[in-house]
Chains A and B, each alone.
Chain A
Amino acid sequence: MREGLGWTLHLLAGAFLFILLLAHVSQLHLISFGGGEQALEWSAVLTRALSRPQVIAYLVFLAAALYHGFFGLRNLLIELPVFRRRVAAVTFTVSIIGIVLFVYGLYTTLALYLQGGGA
């Protein structure tokens, strides 16, 4: 095993995502669990956005999904001949995109939570 910490975190994030994704998809997309269009109405969105457990779950989900996704993308890209001598550049680029998306997701999640008196 030479993959190192990055790969171990990728697997850990993947295991977390397995549970979080099934919960997220069921909660928001399946009508039997209260999902579908009713889950996307503003009142339902606001209820979830002001719930502390939901906000914590969103942030864990956000971090795990971005890390798993962009680390996986990096691994795919550096296997391609065109990028094999540009590993550092690929890692840097995908990291920056991941960090920007994380900061935006963090801001939008916390801004609504704090504005709405969820603290």
Chain B
Amino acid sequence: MKDRRLGIRGWIYGGKHNPERFLYTLHRLTGVLLVLYLSVHILVVGSRAFGQEAWEGAMRLVGLGNPVVRFFEYLLVVVVLFHAVNGARLILGELGFTIGRPRRPIYPYPKESIRKPRPLLWILMILAAVYLAFAAYNFFALPA
């Protein structure tokens, strides 16, 4: 039997591209980035157990105080917030909230499974944007 799985191409190609399809891909990409970051983060933050000198050496190594590093730190907050907010949407959908009541599949099929959860999608993304605007103010307008 022919294997029709798309592999990594399937993460990007989604047939009919709707917002949920792009969020699916972004969720995967941000998830992989966060696993990589988490691993490095645990190793760097662990340096505090070896004393002040080790901690300050680790902070110098990661470039604390460097504006470029600060910019990437903000991008990290964007990635974290997107993954968290979109994850909350996925958990709510997985548990059956926001997807509407089941009904008999009579043609023409209503697009309820897409239409009903969509307001939640926009509400969560707007909340994320508000938080990120506040974070941007903190990162770039306030003195470090």
Contact = CB atoms under 8 A, between A and B. Distances in A.
Contact of B28 (A76, A81, A82, A109): A76
A112 B142 contact: no
A14 B87 contact: yes
B144 A36 contact: yes
A111 B38 CA distance: 20
B35 A80 contact: no
Interface string B43-67: 1011111001001100100001100
Q: Main SS of the interface on chain B? A: helix
Contacts of A35: 138
A73 B138 contact: no
Nearest to B27: A72
Contacts of B48: 45-46, 49, 108, 112
A91 to B, nearest CB: 15
B77 A107 contact: no
Nearest to A11: B91
Contact of A37 (B28, B64, B81, B88): B64
Nearest to A1: B94
A69 B138 contact: no
Interface of A: 11, 14-15, 17-18, 21-22, 25, 29-32, 35-37, 40, 42, 45-46, 49, 62, 65-66, 69-70, 72-73, 76, 79-82, 84, 97, 101, 104-105, 107-109, 111-112, 115
